[in-house]
Structure 1
Amino acid sequence: MPWLDWLSSRSSKTTDDKEREAPAHDEPPYHPAGSWEKNLNQTDWSHYTSPQAITASIVTTAATLVLIRLYKTYLRRIPSVDYLKPGLFRRRSLYGYVTSVGDGDNFHLFHTPGGRLLGWGWLPWRRPGDLKKLKGKTISIRMAGVDAPELAHFGKPAQPYGQEALDWLRSSILHRYVRAYPYRRDQYDRIVCTVYRRRWLFFKTDVGYQMLQQGLATVYEAKMYTEFGGKEEQYRAAEARAKERKIGMWQEPGLIGKMLGRQRTVESPREYKTRTATQDKHGKTGRSK
């Protein structure tokens, strides 16, 4: 019968045939291509080199670098003058909260990058807080192009209208937000800036220019490192108009003063500094003798 012939042919295989068919004990078992063990241990690099993967990687890296650059340039708070980089001068502005006004032409600014759009002033964790704790965390600002009358200090008497200039500046910017455009760092570690304050939401005014209009400052007359931010002509015209109107430090003596023979003698802050410096020099020379 046919099935008996097949059975006899299977049993008639030689021992050599069986040995060739049996796998060797010292060789790994054979697995056909595409088996699950081979796919498990194999890295398919085509997933990483596809155009979609490369494009996604480039976009993610570029977006990360842009965000880091944006944060460092516009959103990182500058705690003091030592953190100001030279590349910021004449290119960027500083928006911040005025914590103190020390003289008629300088003050301290707490930098608030991003302004009110990022919550400064109205979010609880974005408020300057206790002003006493801000020492060493503010930037000293010197207003560019103007020179206010001097206050009494180091044993020197105050100039006329020195206190008036200080009071006006305090009432204008103290505990308010202003924007300063920095030009350079001076010898007293202050940043020379043109300073603006916002009025009626959409309008801004130059604080130094207003002081000149009120007769509470003169145009800065130092021989070196003078900065006007391109507004020297405007500043000088404002000072000239204040002189013509005889307001502030340019006003005439009153009736009683005229009866007593008083005459208007205006000493500019620059002349005052030069005179007192000369007196100090002569005084030291006299004491040394």
Structure 2
Amino acid sequence: MTEQRPGANSVVHSFYPTVILLSLLLTGGFFTANSIFNKHFRQYKSAKDIPEALFKKQWLYGKVTAVGDGDNFHFFHTPGGVLGGWGSLRSVPKLQVVANDASTEVPQSGSWWQKLFNNKVSNYKQHFMSLHVPYRGRRSLPTISVRLCGVDAPERAHFGKDAQPFSDEAMNWLRYKILGQRVWIKPLAVDQYGRCIARVERWSWYKGWQNISIEMLKEGLGVVYEGKVNAEFDNQENIYRYEEAISKNAKRGLWSMRKFESPGAFKKRT
């Protein structure tokens, strides 16, 4: 006759619920972790990767790795910053440092206040082209192509077309301002070229938060965007037009020219 152990069945019956409970906890934990990762730490490598729910609502943090024109650049998304493992577990692209060779700078005349406030075209051009860009941009990286919202910089030479005055100056200023720097972008839309139209902000201990589009208008290196399609201002259009009017009245940058053709009119004509 076989002897039956009285506690065996109770052990088995209590074991199964424990396994099921642990499985549910592990599964739930996995989905929770995956949801948190996708929401806060997932890297977007192009404008098309950005979920529609983020547009006009959330900000993305990252590094500027290249500037392609006076109003657009390449953005390497680093979600979560240091907390997201960037710089330790996840690598951030490094840019080549460019030495400041004074012998190659554009000759400048007059004192610093004359270069900043003199309304002569040549002085403004010399000032902006003499700004030292400390880094060399890198292409062929998994980056988001970003177009500054609300502004239009002078057109550079493309497809055999001549460049507009102050186009090189605008690009050099933008490189000086943000290349190699960490910035925040707020996606607003995607244009016909697949670029993310965004409000771009940079923190400076000296000036605090700076809207790069508005800073460009203050310098007289761009105009308020004229087109009806892809016109995005993130509810700040009045500020954009105010700063443009101030620069125009003071004849800063491109407004120092006697005859000025807006980038929009230039593109239509050519």
Tell me which interval the TM-score lies in, with the shorter structure as reference length: 0.7 to 0.9
Tell whether 2:150 aligns with 1:185.
no
Task: Using the TM superposition, give the Cα deviation of residue 115 of structure 1 relative to its aligned residue in structure 2, in angstroms.
Answer: 1.6
Letter in 1 for 2:47: V
2:13 maps to which residue?
A: 45
1:126 maps to which residue?
A: 91
2:159 to 147, 154, 157: 154
CA contact (8 A) 1:106 1:141 kept: yes
CA deviation map 1:73-125 (0-9, x unaligned): 110111223322222212322211111101100011111111234453x5485
Q: 1:158 to 1:202 in 2, by over 3 A?
A: closer
Letter in 2 for 1:163: D
Tell whether 2:157 aligns with 1:144.
no
Q: Rg larger in 1 or in 2?
A: 1
CA contact (8 A) 1:196 1:204 kept: yes
2:6 to 23, 34, 39: 34
Q: What CA distance in whole angstroms lies between the structure 1 residues aligned with 2:196 and 2:175?
A: 19
1:210 to 203, 211, 215: 215
Higher helix fraction (1 or 2): 1
My pick for the range that moved more, 135-144 or 111-120, is 111-120
Task: Using the TM superposition, give the Cα deviation of residue 49 of structure 1 relative to its aligned residue in structure 2, in angstroms.
Answer: 4.4
1:265 to 259, 262, 267: 259
Give the TM-score normalised by structure 1.
0.71
SS in 1 for 2:245: helix
SS in 1 for 2:210: strand
Task: Using the TM superposition, give the Cα deviation of residue 238 of structure 1 relative to its aligned residue in structure 2, in angstroms.
Answer: 0.6
Letter in 2 for 1:271: A
CA deviation map 1:179-209 (0-9, x unaligned): 1100111110100000011101892210000
Letter in 2 for 1:84: I
Task: Using the TM superposition, give the Cα deviation of residue 155 of structure 1 relative to its aligned residue in structure 2, in angstroms.
Answer: 1.1
The share of aligned pairs that are identical, in percent, is 40
Tell whether 2:48 aligns with 1:82.
yes
Tell whether 2:66 aligns with 1:94.
no
SS in 2 for 1:244: helix
CA contact (8 A) 2:66 2:139 kept: no
2:241 to 227, 236, 239: 236
Q: What CA distance in whole angstroms lies between the structure 2 residues aligned with 1:245 and 1:202?
A: 22
Letter in 2 for 1:188: Y
CA deviation map 1:193-247 (0-9, x unaligned): 0001110189221000000011101000102221111111110001011111111
My pick for the range that moved more, 184-193 or 243-252, is 243-252
1:7 maps to which residue?
A: none
CA contact (8 A) 2:65 2:138 kept: no
Q: What CA distance in whole angstroms lies between the structure 2 residues aligned with 1:146 and 1:240?
A: 13
Q: 1:202 to 1:58 in 2, by over 3 A?
A: farther
Q: What CA distance in whole angstroms lies between the structure 2 residues aligned with 1:133 and 1:204?
A: 26
Q: 1:61 to 1:116 in 2, by over 3 A?
A: same
Aligned pair count reads 230
SS in 2 for 1:188: coil
Query: Is there any run of 5+ residues in structure 2 with no aligned partner, and where?
Result: 97-136
CA contact (8 A) 1:80 1:136 kept: no
SS in 1 for 2:76: strand
Letter in 2 for 1:71: F
CA deviation map 1:253-279 (0-9, x unaligned): xxxxxxxxxxx1111111111111xxx
Give the TM-score normalised by structure 2.
0.76
SS in 1 for 2:227: coil
